[in-house]
């Protein structure tokens, strides 16, 4: 196994292996948040970008997850790839990505996904499925011959990691675990008992 001083380089290597012949979407990760009360919640989101700045996902800014991120400012993701028998946990604080980054990603989405983002009042009560489908059709008609602009309440968040833990399944439950912790601009690495 290669010894990485930077966990983001190591994450890239594991992610690239996970993406080769993946039976499931390797970008599907579990995002854990907690609001001011401390009550946790988790859901699957799609990891759309990662680099030296952190790990990026996109969502509706009026969603429950966004409200919890605004209250707490911290989050964690778990990336689990059972076909590799590996997982990565990332913990850190949150920032919104720039409008330019959100605009660029929104523009790259399929048109139907853009319409759905405008039609959904994510996490709000919905009277009937028909209400949502009508909103979708209305937006589709309103923007029939023009680009669909990104809604102001939709965009990206970046998790700026403080800790990144790598776990690999090993026989006899003697799993390999090690954690990287950020100290300013440098990382330290520590093995952990399974």
Q: Which residues are catalytic?
A: 173
CA angle 149, 154, 157 (to 5 degrees): 130
Say if CB 107 and CB 117 are below 8 A apart: no
What is the distance of C-alpha 83 from the center of its chain?
A: 20
Q: Which residue do the tokens 């983001």 mark?
A: 8
User: Taking a C-beta distance cutoff of 8 angstroms, is the pair 130, 32 a contact?
Assistant: no
Angle between helices 111-119 and 129-142 (to 10 degrees): 120
Query: Is residue 189 a contact partner of residue 179, using CB atoms and an 8 Å limit?
Result: yes
Picking from 70, 41, 79, the residue whose alpha carbon sits closest to that of residue 155 is: 70
Going by C-alpha positions, the residue among 185, 155, 179 that lies closest to residue 166 is 179
CA-based radius of gyration for the chain = 19
């Amino acid at each position: 196994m290669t010894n990485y001083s930077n966990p983001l380089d190591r994450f890239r290597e594991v992610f690239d292996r996970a993406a080769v012949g993946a039976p499931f979407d390797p970008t599907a990760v579990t995002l854990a948040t907690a609001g001011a009360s401390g009550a946790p919640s988790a859901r699957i989101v799609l990891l759309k970008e990662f680099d030296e700045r952190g790990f990026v996902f996109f969502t509706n800014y009026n969603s429950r997850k966004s409200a919890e991120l605004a209250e707490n400012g911290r989050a964690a993701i778990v990336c689990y790839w059972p076909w590799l028998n590996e997982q990565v946990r990332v913990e850190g604080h949150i920032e919104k990505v720039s409008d330019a980054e959100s605009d660029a990603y929104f523009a790259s989405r399929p048109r139907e996904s853009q319409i759905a983002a405008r039609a959904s009042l994510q996490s709000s009560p919905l009277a009937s499925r028909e209400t949502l489908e009508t909103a979708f059709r209305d937006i589709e008609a309103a923007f029939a011959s023009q680009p669909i602009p990104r809604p102001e309440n939709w965009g990206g968040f970046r998790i700026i990691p403080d800790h990144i833990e790598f776990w690999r399944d090993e026989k006899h439950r003697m799993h390999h675990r090690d954690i990287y912790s950020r100290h300013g601009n440098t990382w330290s690495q520590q093995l952990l008992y399974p």
